[in-house]
Amino acid sequence: MNSGRTLLPDLRAAGLSPRKGLGQHYLTDKNILAGIVQAADLPEESVVIEVGPGPGTLTAELAAVSGHLIAVELDDRLAPMLADLYADVPHVHIVHGDALALSPEQLLIQSGCLPPYFVVANLPYYITSPLLRHFLEAGTAPIRMVVTIQLDVAQRIVARPPRMSLLAVAVQAYALPSIVRRLAAGAFTPPPKVTSAVLKLDVLEDAQVAVEERDQFFRVVRAGFGQKRKILRNSLASGLSISPARSEAALLASALSPKQRAQELDIPQWLDLMRALQVEMTDED
């Protein structure tokens, strides 16, 4: 690990303020920053990807303990500033780009790093869902993700039946989620209008949904959650363009009641239902 220096750009001197359009709320509480790094439980010489470093408050903490740090910043004002700041720190790689447009493999190769890797970030809240899936569904998924997101989104992610959501299924198919702590708005500059949380995702060595079943699985899950107030018999029929009778047959074949609702199913039950519906939809075509 690296002893590192605490390197932070002087945004006020540079006349830079957070951009609302990029969802920039900078985490500035030193104790919370240290807690995030501690929650990541990084081994020696670990490779870390940070998304949206902003002014580098978390970057400085991660640089002190990681073997290689890849910080991906979209803001064309901050990325060059961070690159200059860390120009003589060889284990820190500042990438100016969109994390959603760059695969983890590209980031690792571009920075001369190899997996395994970790993701630790104070995420721009508007990209939370696609960013989590971007990494969890990657060909090379991280070992662990520790991210700051909105509390209500974190609560949806960790929910269990009968309070599941499409997002909970999408994350729990690949990882075990837990909320590390809540964060008050005052921990950020500028303060967001919501309460935040630090979410930890311990990525499963073997995902619950195989790559070859992924498209079909999420087709069925999206159909189930497409009309939340409807029972699964009807929402599946509508979302998959099959008859209610065939939808009911698939539910019964999966040991499920046609009157159950999407939020009541866990991932193994969705898998059973998908496989039954695969047959039913094939027969229907």
Domain of residue 103, residue span: 20-203
**Same-domain check for residues 51 and 95:** yes
Rounded percentage of the chain residues whose pLDDT exceeds 90: 76
- Give the domain CATH number at 224: 1.10.8.100
Q: What residues contact residue 90 under an 8 Å CB cut-off, 6+ apart?
A: none
Residue 6 counted as domain residue: no
Given a cut of 90, whether residue 4 has pLDDT beyond it is: no
Residue 245 counted as domain residue: yes
pLDDT on residue 188: 82
pLDDT tens profile 32-78: 999 999 999 999 999 999 999 988 989 999 999 999 999 999 988 88
Q: Give this prediction's pTM.
A: 0.88
The chain-wide mean pLDDT, for the chain, equals: 90
Task: With CA atoms as reference, report the closest residue to 147 among 37, 259, 275, 72.
Answer: 37
User: Rounded mean pLDDT of 97-101?
Assistant: 96
- Give the domain CATH number at 164: 3.40.50.150
pLDDT tens profile 141-171: 999 999 999 999 999 999 999 999 999 999 9
Is the CB of residue 70 less than 8 Å from the CB of residue 107? yes
**Same-domain check for residues 221 and 188:** no
**Same-domain check for residues 71 and 92:** yes
pLDDT on residue 227: 86
Residue 9 counted as domain residue: no
Task: With CA atoms as reference, report the closest residue to 260 among 232, 230, 237.
Answer: 232
How many Å separate Cα 23 from the centre of its chain?
16
How far CA 195 is from CA of 82, 147, 152, 167, 187, in Å, comes to 28, 14, 8, 19, 10
CB-based burial, 180-195: b 16+ in 10 Å, e otherwise? beebeeebbbeeeeee
**Same-domain check for residues 135 and 255:** no
> Which of 148-152, 185-189, 219-223, 277-281 shows the lowest mean pLDDT across its residues?
277-281
**Same-domain check for residues 152 and 218:** no
**Same-domain check for residues 135 and 240:** no
**Same-domain check for residues 66 and 124:** yes
Residue 5 counted as domain residue: no
Residue 275 counted as domain residue: yes
Q: Which residues are 94's β-sheet partners?
A: 71
**Same-domain check for residues 171 and 254:** no
User: Rounded mean pLDDT of 92-105?
Assistant: 96
pLDDT on residue 3: 40
* Structural domain count, the chain: 2
Residue 7 counted as domain residue: no
**Same-domain check for residues 219 and 271:** yes
Q: What residues contact residue 36 under an 8 Å CB cut-off, 6+ apart?
A: 58, 61, 120, 122, 146, 148, 180, 198
**Same-domain check for residues 42 and 140:** yes
Amino acid at 179: I
Residue 87 counted as domain residue: yes
Per-residue confidence band for 83, with pLDDT thresholds at 50, 70 and 90: very high
